[in-house]
Amino acid sequence: MRFGIISTADIARNALVPAIERSSHEVTAIASRDGDRAANVAGELDIPNAYGSYEAMFEEAPIDAVYNPLPNGLHAEWTKRIADAGLDILCEKPIAVDADEAREMFEYCAERDVTLMEAFMYRFHPRTERAAEVVDEELGEVRTGSSAFTFRLDDLEDIRLDPDLAGGSLMDLGCYTVSAMRLFLGEPERVYARSADTRDSGVDTQLTGVLEFESGATARIHSGFDTPEAEAYRVEAVDGWLEAENVFGAAPDQTVSIEYEVDGRRTTEEFDPVDPYQREVEHFADAVEAGERPRIDDVESLRNMAVIDALYESAERGEVVTVDKY
């Protein structure tokens, strides 16, 4: 698969482009609103074609698919424009500003017969896959879980603090924690959340939520830009537990592990270094080639966004909110 990249965002330059190059696929074009910047980055990364507009790349470049890492508030507009060009789309998380917009995006792409997949790379790490297997097949009834993702964001001009671009800690970081708790515990029925805007920026710089499940289980999620970097999850069942750290952003050269205990027997499993972005790209390309639904499909993305919507509504209203069904 030949990929085009829109924007010269750090995640594209530092993660996606190297991941694609490690795979059997290739990056054949990059576009920026600044043509000189696109040309400079193309030169640095050995990308053969550079464009000073996204539209020109869609029309002229030798590409099959586009990676969209634009700010959250621009995902829908440009995903639709990519779809109009008949190109498949790998779109960064969170896929949209809310679940309604996400549903519109998926319907729009389906009408144009192109594949749209949300880029939750951590779901493709073997450690994540094994953790889900342990929780599902080895632990007993799960009663509670927790997940946190934080780091200090000191740049007050960062787009993640811009409400017009759908910034906020829940959108940027909390979407991972919601995804993880849904992976392990299923779909929550209700949520309760509290948030704070410690930078007076117009977005949440920290948010804590509780997810309630039909079984009576609960999960706590936390995201924030105010405290040092931390990323972890833990699941507790009637007969044991599972936990891990560095769960969302493990580097391609990093050995990682999970630890779990079942009926008093404690186990640690280590996982050799792997690039989850590469595995994400390979899965996306394989799904497109086979004409199959990707692992992160419309249902998965809509359900994750629905929980995020409910958390924001709860934080604003100060009361428990029921999650919309998708």
Q: In whole angstroms, what is the distance from residue 131 CA to residue 290 CA?
A: 27
H/E stretch holding 221 reads strand 218-224
> Quick check: is 80 catalytic?
no
User: Which of 25, 75, 93, 234 is the catalytic position?
Assistant: 93
Do residues 276 and 122 make contact, with C-beta atoms less than 8 angstroms apart?
A: yes
Q: In whole angstroms, what is the distance from residue 185 CA to residue 316 CA?
A: 25
H/E stretch holding 243 reads strand 240-245
Give the Cα-Cα-Cα angle 253, 151, 307 (nearest 5 degrees): 100
Do residues 135 and 142 make contact, with C-beta atoms less than 8 angstroms apart?
A: yes
Do residues 38 and 99 make contact, with C-beta atoms less than 8 angstroms apart?
A: no
The residues that are catalytic are: 93
